[in-house]
Amino acid sequence: MARFPKDFLWGGATSAAQIEGGRCEDGKGLSHLDYVYYRGPKTPCNFMVTENLEKARREEDVLNFPNRRGIDFYHRYKEDIALLAEMGFKSFRMSISWTRLFPTGLEETPDPKGVEFYHNVFRELHKHNIEPLVTMIHYELPITFVDRYNGWYSAEIIPYCMKYLKFIIDEYKDEVKYWLTFNEINMVTAVPWLGGGILLDRDRPLPPPQFRGSLRFPPETSRAMDRFSHQALHHQFIASAMIVKYAHETAPQCLIGNMFNLHHLYPETPSPADAYRAHEETEFNMFFCDVMAKGYYPAWIKSYYRKNGIEIKWYENYEEILAQGKVDFISLSYYLSSVVTADPERQEKVGSFIRGLKNPYIADSEFGWQIDPTALRISLNELRDRFNLPIYIVENGLGAFEKPDENGRIHDDYRIAYLRAHIEAIAEAIEDGVNVIGYTPWGCIDLVSCSLVSMSKRYGFIYVDADDEGNGTYDRSRKDSFYWYKKVIATNGEDLD
Ligand code: BG6
């Protein structure tokens, strides 16, 4: 019996800021991601300090901004889509750049060239029978809103955002069936600059970076700061629910999903204290889905806010808005798991944004991300039980440093092994009764890394000849995983060898 449903959406995922390039071309404006600069191969995460923005502006002419170049998808999309089609893609995840349509976010009408660009991309995808899966906001925020409103911290951003979101639904609803509202919505509480364009030192000093950058609850010492990020999160929940309701009313053929970073946790020991911490952190991870899929804030988070002095300015009628804007499916990124201890003194960094402990039973990627397909199977089962909604796995994959050999080939058997194990886990979850509708591994074509802001951390089936400084031909070539994934898709996941 076939393990994957016959219309399973095999594909790959990208985002506008990480692939498009075409900076300022045809009137495109700048987003906050255009101000993140490359700081060398050893910088593990570029989103921690406010100084980034001030320096980026001061030294704009000399710094290196890889997101402004992307991989030149803006000009090469036809060639890229042809390669995806050659692999047999059924689904391609991309995002629309807000600033390509509304350069500052303040304009009343969109830029026609930007509007046309996405029509062209969707047309090209459909020509190859590839279903677009579109993220409405993949972190990107017009820089104007950072300057005017401190990003998503302010509710003033919502009407501008709704203008953009309603426009894209109205304009593209007949070409795009699957939509996601905010990419990894939980990132706004982990890395407020990345997820929300928020500068935390607007009215209080920015705490040391080690207190930020965690998908977990912050330690006691920095909890008060969470009023910034949870206020911003509230505004994103509102915008998301409003556009889901609007799409349900005006474009019933469209399906709208949330998108969160799934993070599976194990308690370090069977001690009740460790088990409780793991439970608490799991609830925190699921909270982002709870609000978007169930349509309300769970009671425990409100009591967490009360106990920690986090005063949220609730948006008018927010309960009704959330209840009316429940998503149609759950979507997630999944890269790694980690281990929880109740001991606050014993916290290490796991991956780019997570505090916790490493699991001694699990291997690391070369970036320290722990490879754990079993956790994906467990989490998929938990998500089924909690939400009973279709699940679209829209990010997963292995980042690696890669250089072509003397024949120009990349033999990425490590990537094949990683993806094979995760596809196996998904097949098992489907056999467990989980309704997984698609799988789009991250960075199906090499692109600019989000945390490293560089080209050298690569995820693709397709190699792009570009380095961190922007040197190279930008030519595309097929890695070994390209041929392997083509076979996987052709056999609908039956042949994973
Ligand atoms: C997710 C993001 O967090 O992980 C992507 O949605 C990102 O934008 C991906 O690129 C992988 O992270 P990184 O830092 O390895 O590029």
Q: What average pLDDT does range 173-191 have in this prediction?
A: 94
The reported pLDDT for the residue numbered 221 is 46
Distance in Å, CA 184 to ligand 1 centroid: 9
The reported pLDDT for the residue numbered 225 is 62
**341 vs 389: which has the higher pLDDT:** 389
The reported pLDDT for the residue numbered 227 is 77
Q: What average pLDDT does range 438-447 have in this prediction?
A: 98
The reported pLDDT for the residue numbered 204 is 47
Under 8 Å between Cβ of 292 and 185: yes
457 CA: nearest ligand 1 atom? 15
Q: Is the model's pLDDT at 212 over the cut of 50?
A: no
Minimum mean pLDDT among 186-195, 213-222, 250-259: which range? 213-222
Distance in Å, CA 451 to ligand 1 centroid: 7
Helices (H), ranges, 296-361: 299-307, 318-323
* Residue in 442, 457, 458 to alter for ligand 1 test, most ligand atoms within 8 A of Cβ: 442
Q: Going by CA atoms, what residue is nearest to atom 10 of ligand 1? A: 450
Measure the CA–CA gap between 180 and 177, rounded to whole angstroms.
10
The helix, strand and coil proportions of the chain, stated in percent and rounded to the nearest 5, come to 40, 15, 45
Q: Which of 363, 336, 362, 361 is nearest to 350 (CA)?
A: 336
The reported pLDDT for the residue numbered 128 is 98
What are the angstrom distances between the C-alpha of 277 and each of 267, 383, 443?
7, 19, 33
Q: Is the model's pLDDT at 183 over the cut of 70?
A: yes
User: Which residue type, as a one-letter code, is found at position 402?
Assistant: E
The reported pLDDT for the residue numbered 352 is 66
- Residues lining ligand 1, judged by CB closer than 6 Å? 15, 183-184, 333, 352, 395, 399, 442, 449-452, 457
Q: What are the pLDDT digits (tens) for 383-416?
A: 999 999 999 999 999 999 999 999 999 999 999 9
Q: Is the model's pLDDT at 353 over the cut of 80?
A: no
| CA end-to-end span of the chain | 18
Of 20, 124, 184, 402, the active-site residue reads: 184
Q: Is the model's pLDDT at 251 over the cut of 50?
A: yes
184 in catalytic set = yes
Phi-psi region of 313 (alpha: psi -120 to 50; beta: other; left: phi over 0): beta
Span 9-490: which CATH code?
3.20.20.80
* Residue in 138, 395, 418, 457 to alter for ligand 1 test, most ligand atoms within 8 A of Cβ: 395
What are the angstrom distances between the C-alpha of 26 and each of 46, 79, 95?
28, 21, 18
The reported pLDDT for the residue numbered 310 is 85
Measure the CA–CA gap between 232 and 87, rounded to whole angstroms.
39
Q: What are the pLDDT digits (tens) for 362-371?
A: 998 888 888 9
Q: Is the model's pLDDT at 468 over the cut of 70?
A: yes
Distance in Å, CA 352 to ligand 1 centroid: 10
Distance in Å, CA 368 to ligand 1 centroid: 14
Q: Is the model's pLDDT at 46 over the cut of 80?
A: no
Q: What are the pLDDT digits (tens) for 106-125?
A: 999 999 999 999 999 999 99
Q: What are the pLDDT digits (tens) for 62-76?
A: 999 999 999 999 999
Measure the CA–CA gap between 265 and 338, rounded to whole angstroms.
5
